[in-house]
Amino acid sequence: MRRLRSALAVLVALGLLAGAAWLADGWVRSEVESRIETAVLAELPEIESGVEARLGGTFAIPQLVAGRLDDVTVTAPEAVVDGVALADVRIEATGVPIRGEQAIASVHATGTVPIETVLAAVERRVRLPDGVTLELHEGEIAAVANVLGVPLEAYVALAAEPRAIVVDLDRLVLGGATVDSDDVPLDLDGLLSTVVDLEVLPPAVELTSVEVTPAGVVVELAGNDVEL
């Protein structure tokens, strides 16, 4: 009986230690997440609030001891990066170092660029005839004009390249009918294979996807061995 009581006492003590360790690890995790949020706000002062950081991994303390966070997710309703406004920002990073001049193992990020920002960037690089404007038309980007009283929409497609967005002519619709470029008395060659460089991207980060939506243009970025 005495041995049974001793064994139970040991089990209770171990349980209390495990609970204390779990509480301590939870406090450490919360502190790490809070410091990440503070660092993001300091780096991007245009963000007033809404930044949330989540530290992955089963336990936080071993990650601190190892000097590298397993995975970190940061979200923000909006942000301004190098003068570009973004909405619904989400950044997922793995292997994040907390000491020294080491690189982040991998980064994956998504965000939505307002359609007005994209249209302005394209217009700066595309030569359009007088009377032709770029706008979001039925969920797609189109160069819109009026030809002898008949509406013309020149729809463009956006394609992702590692460090650029390529704008190309997708189709022409004149008075509701799809036509060839030879049937349109306008020079729309400026819409052919126009490249919008993304010079603001860090060296190891590339554009992997771009999609036009009614809310804006959703961009997806990814990179490995990203320097801090």
Does residue 175 have a pLDDT over 80? yes
Give the full edge-to-edge strand order of the sheet including 68-81. 52-55, 68-81, 84-97, 103-113, 216-227, 205-213
Domain co-membership, 208 together with 131:
yes
Three-state secondary structure call for residue 120: helix
Domain co-membership, 88 together with 180:
no
Distance CA 125, CA 118 (A): 11
**Which pLDDT value is given to residue 46?**
67
For residue 109, tell me if it sits in a domain: no
Does residue 117 have a pLDDT over 90? no
Which of the two residues, 209 and 81, has the higher pLDDT score?
209
**Which pLDDT value is given to residue 150?**
84
Dump pLDDT digits (tens) for 178-190. 888 777 777 777 7
For residue 228, tell me if it sits in a domain: no
**Which pLDDT value is given to residue 221?**
93
Q: Report residue 16's pLDDT band, with 50, 70 and 90 as the boundaries.
A: very low
> How many domains in the chain?
2
Domain co-membership, 90 together with 119:
no
Does residue 2 have a pLDDT over 50? no
**Which pLDDT value is given to residue 71?**
93
Domain co-membership, 23 together with 90:
yes
Domain co-membership, 67 together with 155:
no
Domain co-membership, 28 together with 120:
no
The region that residue 213 occupies, defined by phi over 0 for left and psi between -120 and 50 for alpha, beta otherwise, is: beta
Mean pLDDT of 186-206: 78
Does residue 146 have a pLDDT over 70? yes
**Boundary-marking domain end, from 71, 100, 129:** 100
For residue 63, tell me if it sits in a domain: yes
Domain that holds residue 64: 2-100
Q: Report residue 23's pLDDT band, with 50, 70 and 90 as the boundaries.
A: low
Determine contact, residues 52/38, Cβ cutoff 8 Å: no
Q: Which amino acid is at 164?
A: A
For residue 226, tell me if it sits in a domain: no
For residue 212, tell me if it sits in a domain: yes
**Which pLDDT value is given to residue 112?**
92
For residue 140, tell me if it sits in a domain: yes
Distance CA 31, CA 24 (A): 11
117: CB partners within 8 A, 6+ apart: 84, 85, 216
**Best mean pLDDT range from 35-44, 50-59, 197-206:** 50-59
Does residue 50 have a pLDDT over 60? yes
Determine contact, residues 216/116, Cβ cutoff 8 Å: no
For residue 105, tell me if it sits in a domain: no
Distance CA 162, CA 179 (A): 32
Mean pLDDT of 76-85: 80
**Boundary-marking domain end, from 60, 76, 100:** 100
Name the residue among 45, 97, 48 with its Cα closest to residue 69.
Answer: 97
